[in-house]
Structure 1
């Protein structure tokens, strides 16, 4: 069986293949990296490797035996996955996990527990893990995954082996996006917005992504022309389209990428643009500005992102940004 994780993180698969083969698997790990880098896939691969009935000569699980199939379908009693319900992992979920951690395996002596998005644990939930991390039960393995390592309690981090996941190389990411029937131009932009093929595909398939690109381009054109219609576009074209916080954050990300392209073209760097199809227009804008002004404009966009994260309304944030850019 060929696992996606081997193409995403071949080095880490080889590392854990060797560790498990030598009987040196630690009892607590933190897998840290961006969305789409294979954290959950590797955690699952480890569970498959530990329980597989037909591990091959190279140390790979076959993926087809009954044990592997139960893990892949989420039905193995000795492989427990905890994921956030809503925005947080609450104390009750960790309390359940702690009760399970104290038990022996139902069918074997070993158990695997995976906590997805561990940075979303409440402080109480995170503290609830400390007893296990200090005195782990034999043959019980705990794997936490996170995209925000710095949001975990230092007391938790200090008791885990931290494995950092590298981003998917950009050429490979572009290749995978285009294999999903995403156009080369859209792939160029999406690859700057996320390192996750899944997230990029969801964005491309959303009902707001393509209209948003077009409306932001029109808005920026007004801004570049010092045209007051940019304010009208905020209220009538952009705000009605992006109704949730995620889409609003992506709108500001696209604006920042537009300015990054202008800055790159100012220095005649053309190889990695987010908007390659607009190179001619972006180049003309780059030729009619200064580095100091571009940096000032980019700082204004970054400030807008901070306002949005501080729960300033998106309309007020974008209108304030428009005023600064004009």
Structure 2
């Protein structure tokens, strides 16, 4: 099941339908929110709405020649730029700056969409300031980001910021299972990502499955108060999570396991991240007090902060293991 922008962000679609109908579209926007919340889809929808020749009830039809050219990436007055690798390259910014100075090739309006704008270098971001300070008539710039705090304040101050809400959990689970992901996997993945594309990529990766199993093994030893959990850290967890992004997910999995135990402790069985492990999680919940559970949750949250503060993954896990075994 593929969700449309009307499914993902119905309120924002209604907002921009009204704004465009009143001819009050701003010339610079920043769409900010988690991956999978529809930022790029809404940016494309705005372009479709502006150029569509058969608008019905404020909605582009998606089938006219203008819409089809936008959807296929062949419309000369709709320019999309996305990072090639870790950042927007200087050639991309040069191209963008040149295009921003031009008037529409076929119409009197143009739309520029810069995806993952947080990956712009400082020089690249500064290159946009001239346009933002003196925008050309009927030229619209839409930036998207999942990390608003990494964008220069001088850029932020010149844009209207639109925050994208996360999808409701049941809706996202339905999206994942509709795409062929098992109910068990979907229950966990919706706690880790709001993006179907990311969820599919993780399931197909060589790290997600092994990491999940390794975290479970370590966690089982911790709950059994077995000191072999320390061996798990060095022998299994550290090799399974060499990259910082994977290390973050390892700690997220640990926190989700603790959250499931806490939920079962208070007889809240709905929406578990690990529904197939309910029996074992319930057994652990019965062995603990609410105070112990909260202490373990606090230790796991503190571990996330240590990792963010550049404490090594191994040291962070060894400290957490010691606290949980106490």
Name the CA distance, whole Å, in 2 between partners of 1:292 and 1:123.
47
For the 8 Å contact 2:19–2:25, the answer to whether it is kept is yes
Q: Do residues 130 (structure 1) and 160 (structure 2) align?
A: no
User: When the two structures are aligned, how many residues end up with a matched partner?
Assistant: 324
Q: Do residues 298 (structure 1) and 297 (structure 2) align?
A: yes
* Bigger mean CA offset, 288-297 vs 77-86: 288-297
Shift of 1:28: 0.9
Other-structure match for 1:47: 47
Deviations 1:153-175 (A, max 9, x none): 33322221221212111111111
Other-structure match for 2:280: 281
2:240 partner SS: coil
Deviations 1:218-272 (A, max 9, x none): 1111011111211222233333333322222211110111111122222222222
Deviations 1:112-140 (A, max 9, x none): 11111122223333233222212110010
Q: Do residues 232 (structure 1) and 235 (structure 2) align?
A: no
For the 8 Å contact 2:262–2:293, the answer to whether it is kept is yes
Other-structure match for 2:169: 170
Name the CA distance, whole Å, in 1 between partners of 2:212 and 2:108.
54
Name the CA distance, whole Å, in 1 between partners of 2:3 and 2:176.
18
Name the CA distance, whole Å, in 1 between partners of 2:94 and 2:311.
36
Deviations 1:158-201 (A, max 9, x none): 22122121211111111111112211111111111111122122
Name the CA distance, whole Å, in 1 between partners of 2:87 and 2:298.
31
Q: When the two structures are superposed, what TM-score results if normalisation uses the length of structure 1?
A: 0.91
Shift of 1:7: 1.3
* Bigger mean CA offset, 237-246 vs 184-193: 237-246
Name the CA distance, whole Å, in 2 between partners of 1:196 and 1:261.
22
- Residues 172 and 50 of structure 1: CA distance in aligned 2, closer, same or farther (over 3 Å): same
- Residues 267 and 165 of structure 1: CA distance in aligned 2, closer, same or farther (over 3 Å): same
Name the CA distance, whole Å, in 2 between partners of 1:89 and 1:172.
33
Name the CA distance, whole Å, in 1 between partners of 2:84 and 2:290.
46
Q: Do residues 33 (structure 1) and 50 (structure 2) align?
A: no
Deviations 1:27-49 (A, max 9, x none): 11111111101000010111112
1:318 partner SS: helix
For the 8 Å contact 1:91–1:128, the answer to whether it is kept is no
Other-structure match for 2:120: 121
Q: How does 1:57-76 map to 2 (within 5 A)?
A: 57-76=56-75
For the 8 Å contact 1:5–1:41, the answer to whether it is kept is yes
Q: When the two structures are superposed, what TM-score results if normalisation uses the length of structure 2?
A: 0.91
Other-structure match for 2:21: 21
Shift of 1:3: 7.6
Other-structure match for 1:209: 208
Name the CA distance, whole Å, in 2 between partners of 1:3 and 1:108.
31
Q: What CA RMSD, in Å, does the superposition of the two structures yield over aligned residues?
A: 2.1
Gaps of 5+ in 1: none
Other-structure match for 1:160: 159
- Residues 3 and 294 of structure 1: CA distance in aligned 2, closer, same or farther (over 3 Å): closer
Name the CA distance, whole Å, in 1 between partners of 2:56 and 2:273.
44
Name the CA distance, whole Å, in 1 between partners of 2:294 and 2:155.
39
Gaps of 5+ in 2: none
Shift of 1:148: 2.0
For the 8 Å contact 2:264–2:281, the answer to whether it is kept is yes
Shift of 1:22: 2.5
Name the CA distance, whole Å, in 2 between partners of 1:43 and 1:37.
12
Name the CA distance, whole Å, in 2 between partners of 1:296 and 1:123.
42
